[in-house]
Chain A
Amino acid sequence: MNVEHFLARLYTEDDLDRIVANASPEEKEILAKIDPESLKLARRSFAKKRNAKRARVV
């Protein structure tokens, strides 16, 4: 499986609970290695960057 793609989904998709609930065995293996608090902070940081970029484009 493509780890980067799964990380990109974790970083960007709104419904994190749905990703976790529907995770494949390989994805569950990745999730087990991720600190949930760090993921939460990373998602927030990436969202801020995306919003700042959109604001610049507008």
Chain B
Amino acid sequence: MRFGIGWRPELGASILANLDRIEIIEVLAEEHVHASAKERRALQFLARTVPVVVHATSLGLASCDPVDARRLDAVARVIGWIEPECWSEHLAFVRSRGIEIGHLAAPPRRQETLDGLARNVENARRVIGSAPLLENVATLLDPPMSDWSESEWIRRVANATRCELLLDLHNLHANATNFGFSAESFLREIPIDRVRMIHLAGGRRIEGDRILDDHLHEVPDPVFALLANAIHENADIILERDGNYPRFETLLGELDRARLAA
């Protein structure tokens, strides 16, 4: 079990200065598709210094539509030169027939989507050379035309794709709050032994007492409480922070708290 953080340029110097307290780093694939030679060398050096994993956001694997070949090639190239331990993508769709949604949208949880996901994962496995860890997503809209609960969806995804899972505990906390289910029951219902990585993040309350997963706030107490139930000995824990950065010591403190919770 290792504890680490998502690489962001704004945090780069602080991350490098604190590698004695950071055991793994997650790099966003799409941020480096057009990396300069210098940037590539820096990330390759980083990957030789500390374990690195790559996180993708643009593929839209959980879709009836085939994954975009150019985007898949771009992510494959980044993974090719970073040579991470593993890579991950979301259980989301991000576009449909020329419409770019701009972010991760939860798909209808049903057989048609599962079949599309399985095809897309196989394609990605062939092009990239390894299968992604698949991550549960936060959503403000309960996807219509769904036949399964989210935990049932995750169970079927794990079976159909044979992929390991990236469990985002803040996404789980947000969905449990927004749609009134028990996050603890969810953790009992999914194949927890397939969880290889865990994301910690924070969000904020918005209208209707819903939670928006914005990665701009501290990890809330309920997420730390879930961590103890979600831990599998092979799982690594990554803290995601995308802006509104506090002092770096605060982020290191969140990692320390995760260590204690685990």
- Spell out A's residues near B (CB within 8 Å): 2-5, 7-9, 11-12, 30, 33-35, 37-39, 41-42, 45-47, 49-50, 53
In the complex, residue of chain B having the shortest beta-carbon distance to the beta carbon of A40: B207
A1 to B212, CA, bound (A): 30
Contact with A along B134-145 (1 / 0, CB 8 A): 000001111111
Q: A2-B97, A4-B64 are in contact. Are A47 and B102 (CB under 8 A)?
A: yes
Complex Cα distance, B107 from A55, in Å, reads 27
Q: Which residue of B lies closest to A47 (CB)?
A: B102
Name, among A3, A41, A42, the residue most crowded by chain B CB atoms within 10 Å (CB to CB): A3
Question: What is the bound-complex CA distance between A7 and B60, given in angstroms?
Answer: 14
Find the A residue at minimum CB distance from B145. A3
Q: Give CA–CA (A41, B105) in the complex, Å.
A: 13
Q: How far is the CB of A6 from chain B (nearest CB, A)?
A: 8
- Which applies to chain A's interface (DSSP): helix, strand, loop or mixed? helix
B141:A4 contact, CB within 8 angstroms: no
B103 on interface, CB distance cutoff 8 Å: yes
Q: Which residue of A lies closest to B60 (CB)?
A: A4
B interface majority secondary structure: mixed
- 8 residue pairs of the A-B complex, CB under 8 angstroms, read A3-B108, A8-B97, A33-B144, A38-B210, A41-B210, A49-B103, A50-B100, A53-B102
From A4, A7, A45, A53, residue with most partner B Cβ within 10 Å: A4
Chain A residues closer than 8 Å to B97, beta-carbon distance: 2, 5, 8
Given the complex, which residues of B lie within 8 Å of A46, measured CB to CB?
101-103, 105
In the complex, A37 Cα to B139 Cα: how many Å? 13
The residue of chain B having its C-beta at the shortest distance from the C-beta of A34 within the complex is B144
Beta-carbon contact of A8 and B140 below 8 Å: no
CB distance from B174 to the nearest CB of A (A): 11
A12:B208 contact, CB within 8 angstroms = no
Q: Residues of A contacting B102 with CB < 8 Å? A: 12, 46-47, 49-50, 53
Contacts of A33 in B (CB 8 A): 144-145
Given the known interface contacts A5-B99, A8-B96, A50-B100, the answer about A45 and B108 at a Cβ–Cβ threshold of 8 Å is: no
Inter-chain contact A38/B65, CB cutoff 8 Å: no
> Across the interface, which residues of B come within 8 angstroms of A45, CB to CB?
103, 140, 212
